[in-house]
Amino acid sequence: MKGRSWLILCLTTITLVLLSSCAFNLFANFELRNLLTSGTVEQRLEAASNALSGGNYDAAIALAASVINEKLGLELKVEDLEKLLDSTSTVYELAQAIQSATLTEDLLDAVKILVEAVAFKTEKDISSLADEVIEILQDLGIDLGFTKSKSNGSDFWAQFETNAGTIVKLLAETFDGRNALKLLTSGYYFIATNATDNTLPAVLCSLYDIGYMFNLLLDIDDDGNVSDEKFVKDVITNPASIVEFSEQATSGLYNDAKDCEEFIWAYGILEDMFEILSIQATFETLDATTLSEKEHISDIFNTLFGE
């Protein structure tokens, strides 16, 4: 009897703990939904900031996005806000609206919270990426604002070949998640073009923008990730053959007008950020038709660097 009583007590305790946890989560979800539907801008911004500080990135994203949604009149549904990164169309609509928005203090605060929450949620925050990514970009002659440098196509390609395995592996791991990269690029573009101290936002915008461009270029199946692509795996395995692989691998832009338009959009943002950062670089004039006709990855690099 004692053993049975002990077992019943344990089961009862476990059940209560589980129920309490469910009740807490339900309450949290109910509270979030209530803020999204009826909270003031000030309440949502405060809650978003608290959620970000507490590591509740989903809530921070939803609340910050709800403020942006209201300020820009986007008419996104609560369900869209709660699962923002899951919907490509929602992300693209929000990103486009942010980039061309008129500055207000509330909007700037909301965008800052949004991009920081997205970066942390997707593990693309600058604290975890800076040392490796920026060091490699500097090796390629692209020094994002820390020291001003000049980059040209020949140097870039030569360095890329030399460090191919390491670079491609890092890019693949860093630049998975196309939706997040799109949102981060647009958010930091807005901050960089509106903030008084815009050096770091311009650096971050450039970083995520380059990632977005690589994602579009390497992602053949358009699943938003590049670490699963054959070209990436081949280069990591045999970096000395990157030129051969690039001449054989199909470009993610090939016969894809939409991705080509996105690539040109990202290319223009990079040009704007380099101007802010006083980085000297030559930018070619691109058009979607020409890009979509380039079958291989090497063709795109030759187009970008005018070779």
CA-nearest of 123, 51, 104, 54 to 81 is: 51
pLDDT, greater one: 163 or 284: 284
Look up residue 278 and give its amino acid: S
Domains of the chain, by residue range, sit at 1-119, 122-307
The predicted-structure confidence for 52-104, as pLDDT tens digits, reads as follows 999 999 999 999 999 999 999 999 999 999 899 999 999 999 999 999 899 99
Please give the average per-residue pLDDT across 268-290, as a whole number.
Answer: 89
Least confident of 84-93, 212-221, 233-242: 233-242
Residues 6+ apart with CB under 8 A from 289: 260
Q: Which residue has tokens 């949102």?
A: 183
Angle at 133 between CA 253 and CA 272, to 5 degrees: 60
pLDDT, greater one: 7 or 22: 7
Cβ(273)–Cβ(205) below 8 Å = yes
Please give the average per-residue pLDDT across 135-144, as a whole number.
Answer: 56
Cβ(67)–Cβ(48) below 8 Å = yes
How many other CB atoms are found less than 10 A from the CB of residue 77? 10
d(CA 215, CA 212): 5
Cβ(273)–Cβ(143) below 8 Å = no
Beta bridge partners of 150: 280
The predicted-structure confidence for 16-56, as pLDDT tens digits, reads as follows 444 444 443 433 577 888 899 889 999 999 999 999 999 99
Cβ(171)–Cβ(219) below 8 Å = no
